[in-house]
Amino acid sequence: MAPHARFRLRSAAHLRDEAGRLGLDIPFRDDVSVLLDRAVIGGGAVPNRLAVLPMEGADAERTGAPSASTLRRYRRYGAGGAGLIWCEAAAVRADGRSNPSQLMLTEGTIGGFSRLVDETRKAAGKARGSGHSPLLILQLTHSGRFAKPEGTPRPLIVQNNPHLAPLHGLPPDHPLVSDDELAAIRDDFVEAADLAASAGFDGVDIKACHGYLMSETLAAHSREDSRYGGPFENRTRLLLETVRHIREEAPGLLVTSRLSTTDLVPFPYGFGMDPDEPDRIDLAETKALVGLLARAGAGLVALSMGIPAWKPHFGRPFDTPVPGGAVPDEHPLEGVARHLALAAEIQRSAPGTAVIGAGYSWLRALGPGVAAAMVGTGRSAAFGLGRGALAYPDFAADLIGGGRMSSRKVCTTCSLCSHLLRRQRPVGCVVRDPEFKNAAGEGSLA
Ligand SMILES: Cc1cc2nc3c(=O)[nH]c(=O)nc-3n(C[C@H](O)[C@H](O)[C@H](O)COP(=O)(O)O)c2cc1C
């Protein structure tokens, strides 16, 4: 591992040299046109292969309905030209909210979600022409051990985990959610998916990453005497049942999942880790799961990794940690290379599935060239930006119009959006969005 460093790459040649110095495989292509054509990704038609990845805004109404700021965010994404807008985590029930301002999809809030779909599509059509209609996928979630429905922790845990327990001061024998309760939550996902279809979304994502409830079932090796813990078949049951039930209930709806390829939490407490070498990544189960998801009807997966509340740098390589956070003991380009390598490995093992990776924002304006090389060589299906899209919602329009992103508009990976989310404050880019310029300076953020 090389020491952490800030971004200083001025050109593709510089990126190549730095990757060479660090011994990393970072492919690059000047011509990004492979990202710009119409395509079908995992069964969904997209006007281009540019995607906005889900980014919680923590700005919903108390009811869970999108607020005026939520709608502004999605209008900006719509107008920005991305072909796929993967809408942020929306809770399927109240005790699953990550904060009191997380979106929540229920009978009572469906009108607000229809409006979000409508305004996003209208903004897209107005800015890009009536032929441009982005694919809209809504991420559905239960925050599980990270639930804070009233602002303070109310963890619902699938297994006791000595690595994550200290985050909330949980005792080693904290009570576990029952199998019956897990089955009830599965049904809430199915109901929410139905509502998402009625609201006009093209698809839903059963969020199974970042240590939240569904993702924790995948890692629940130590859960005993349970339909949802222990052997692989049991740990994957809740996710697969959810996907199958949604396919039955809403056959016209695209069903996808955002998976952590690996939790990077040592075996037996993390998914995607090696039983013989607990700190080593092992993708055997992840590959098997992606195959089972495809068979169950989910042929599109978005990949992430790690548990952001525990070690955020794995999922979001950055220059600067959140205030008070640790500087990681690896170079951010190593983190980016890990994202690329794992996405490529999963895509290679599942050629019929569309794989969308993450972690490109640290590359700033060099991201599209790397993504073009990934997509052009069949190592993934699209270029997705999370923090990068929050900072630069019209990145797609600039790529379509001029083949490049502006280095003056890119995300600086300052982690202040993560900080806002942790503080349960509305999330925006304090560096690039004039409406958020003062957010980081507010005393309550310190
Ligand atoms: C403030 C913030 C909110 C996020 N919210 C979500 C979310 O709702 N769902 C999700 O799957 N990932 C979420 N992520 C992770 C991003 O989608 C993305 O995987 C991560 O930022 C790395 O990609 P990037 O380098 O393009 O930012 C969030 C990240 C940040 C910083």
Q: Is 258 in the pocket of ligand 1 (CB under 6 A)?
A: yes
**Ligand 1 binding pocket includes 427 (Cβ within 6 Å):** yes
Q: What is the mean pLDDT of residues 343-358?
A: 98
Res. 123: pLDDT tops 70: yes
What are the CA-CA distances from residue 408 to residues 200, 354, 417, 431 (Å)? Answer: 35, 31, 18, 11
Cβ of 116 less than 6 Å from ligand 1: no
Q: For the residues 65-76, what does the mean pLDDT come to?
A: 98
The residue written with tokens 């490109």 in the block is 360
Q: What pLDDT was estimated at residue 199?
A: 98
Active site members: 212
- 53, 98, 207, best to mutate for ligand 1 pocket (most atoms within 8 Å of CB): 53
Q: Is the CB of 306 under 6 A from ligand 1?
A: no
Question: pLDDT per residue over 99-119, tens digit each?
Answer: 999 999 999 999 999 999 999
Q: Rounded to whole angstroms, how far apart are CA atoms 115 and 413?
A: 31
Of 285-294, 322-331, 436-445, which range is least confident? 436-445
Q: What is the rounded average pLDDT of the residues 367-371?
A: 98
- Position 443 pLDDT exceeds 70: no
Q: What is the pTM of this model?
A: 0.98
What per-residue confidence (pLDDT) applies to 442? 56
Confidence at residue 440, expressed as pLDDT on a 0 to 100 scale: 74
Query: 7, 50, 52, 56: which to mutate for ligand 1, most atoms within 8 A of CB?
Result: 56
CA–CA gap between residue 25 and residue 275 (Å, rounded):
27
Task: Give the whole-number percent of the chain exceeding pLDDT 90.
Answer: 98
pLDDT of amino acid 441:
67
> How far, rounded to the nearest angstrom, does the alpha carbon of residue 90 sit from its chain's CA centroid?
12
Average pLDDT, the chain: 97
Average pLDDT over residues 21-47: 97
**pLDDT for 438:** 86
- For the Cβ of 89 lying below 6 angstroms from any atom of ligand 1, the answer is yes
pLDDT of residue 183: 98
Query: What is the pLDDT, as a whole number, of residue 126?
Result: 98
- Is the Cβ atom of 53 under 6 angstroms away from ligand 1? yes
Please give the distance, rounded to the nearest whole angstrom, from the Cα atom of residue 141 to the centre of ligand 1.
14
How far apart are the CA of 317 and the centre of ligand 1, in A?
A: 11
| Averaged pLDDT, 167-177 | 96
Q: Name the nearest CA neighbour of 220 among 189, 265, 283.
A: 265
> DSSP secondary structure string, 276-343?
SSTTSB--HHHHHHHHHHHHHT--EEEEE-S-TTT-HHHHS--SSPSTTPPPPSS-HHHHHHHHHHHH
Q: pLDDT per residue over 235-253, tens digit each? A: 999 999 999 999 999 999 9
The minimum-distance atom of ligand 1 relative to the CA of 53 is 17
Q: Is the pLDDT of residue 444 over 50?
A: no
50 CB under 6 A from ligand 1? no
Ligand 1 atom with the shortest distance to the CA of 316 = 22
CA–centroid distance, 227 to ligand 1, in Å, is 30
Q: Looking at the predicted structure, is the pLDDT value of residue 363 above 90?
A: yes
pLDDT top residue among 291 and 446: 291
Instruction: Tell me if 387 CB under 6 Å of ligand 1.
Output: yes
The reply to whether ligand 1 has any atom less than 6 angstroms from the CB of 73 is: no
Question: In this predicted model, what pLDDT tens digit does every residue of 378-429 receive, in sequence order?
Answer: 999 999 999 999 999 999 999 999 999 999 999 999 999 999 999 999 999 9
- 358 CA closest ligand 1 atom index: 23
Is the pLDDT reported for residue 377 higher than 80? Answer: yes
Cα(364) to ligand 1 centroid in Å equals: 16
Please give the average per-residue pLDDT across 162-173, as a whole number.
96
Best substitution site from 387, 410, 429 to test ligand 1's pocket, by max atoms within 8 Å of Cβ?
Answer: 387
| Confidence band for 354, pLDDT divided at 50, 70 and 90 | very high
